[in-house]
Amino acid sequence: MKISEKIKAAMSNSYLANDTIYDVINDDDREELIEEVKDAFQGVLDALVIDTNNDHNTQDTAKRVAKMFINEIFRGRYYPPPCITAFPNAKQYDQIYMTGPITINSTCAHHFQAISGKAYIGIFPGQKVIGLSKFNRMVDWIASRPQIQEEMTEQIADMIQEETEAKGVAVIVKAEHFCMTARGVKEHESDMVTSVVRGIFRDEPATKAEFFSLLSNMKGMR
């Protein structure tokens, strides 16, 4: 039985493109999966009539692509989330703080083309705070899977809310989609902007307005 079939049999729910499956696989499974993906991608190269036996540029492409998918650009599916250490909000800071731009490298699930952009995060803290670099790690982990930008933005907000237990979470993602720039209409000037606001940012208009005012002055949003 292929390792992918064993993994599917071990799962009790769906395995959509942006679902995580790290909890049902181990290091050996990942190595087997790389080999299975390598064989499958070699089939793609063969179907494209690329002579990988004699073309020095593509002789090891199938293995490189398989390792890239599992260990790099889709690692948010196959590897556990980053460890997030929280600290007490000892001084009871009760104002907005923001971080960004945070680099996003993701993949469109429709055409498997790159999504390249920036995330901006606003927090109205509760009883816990986390280090700023942890936001980058969470964004990178969520981004590293095939998906659409709207769902990615929601998942980033969900994870931040879970880890910080903040009174308010706001996430803005501004990104370029290579499924539009490299193919199709080949539009190079359009970005997509998505937003998710939770808690006090949704419930209190003045706080929401303050967030967007601060956002307008951040690098890349002017």
Instruction: Render pLDDT for 58-117 as a digit per residue (tens, 0 to 9).
Output: 999 999 999 999 999 999 999 999 999 999 999 999 999 999 999 999 999 999 999 999
**33 vs 68: CA distance, rounded Å:** 12
Residue-range domains of the chain with CATH: 3-78 (1.10.286.10), 86-216 (3.30.1130.10)
What integer pLDDT is reported at residue 181 of this predicted model? Answer: 84
Residues 6+ away with beta carbon under 8 Å from 121: 98, 99, 100, 102, 135, 139, 156, 160, 169, 170, 171, 172
- Please list the ranges in the chain whose pLDDT falls under 50: none
Tell me the pTM: 0.93
Structural contact between residues 114 and 146, judged by C-beta atoms closer than 8 angstroms = no
What integer pLDDT is reported at residue 207 of this predicted model? Answer: 95
Beta strands at 97-108 and 146-147: parallel, antiparallel or unpaired = parallel
Structural contact between residues 215 and 122, judged by C-beta atoms closer than 8 angstroms = yes
What integer pLDDT is reported at residue 222 of this predicted model? Answer: 62
What integer pLDDT is reported at residue 180 of this predicted model? Answer: 83
- Residue 5 has φ and ψ, to the nearest 5°, of -70, -40
What amino acid is encoded at 142 in this protein?
Answer: I
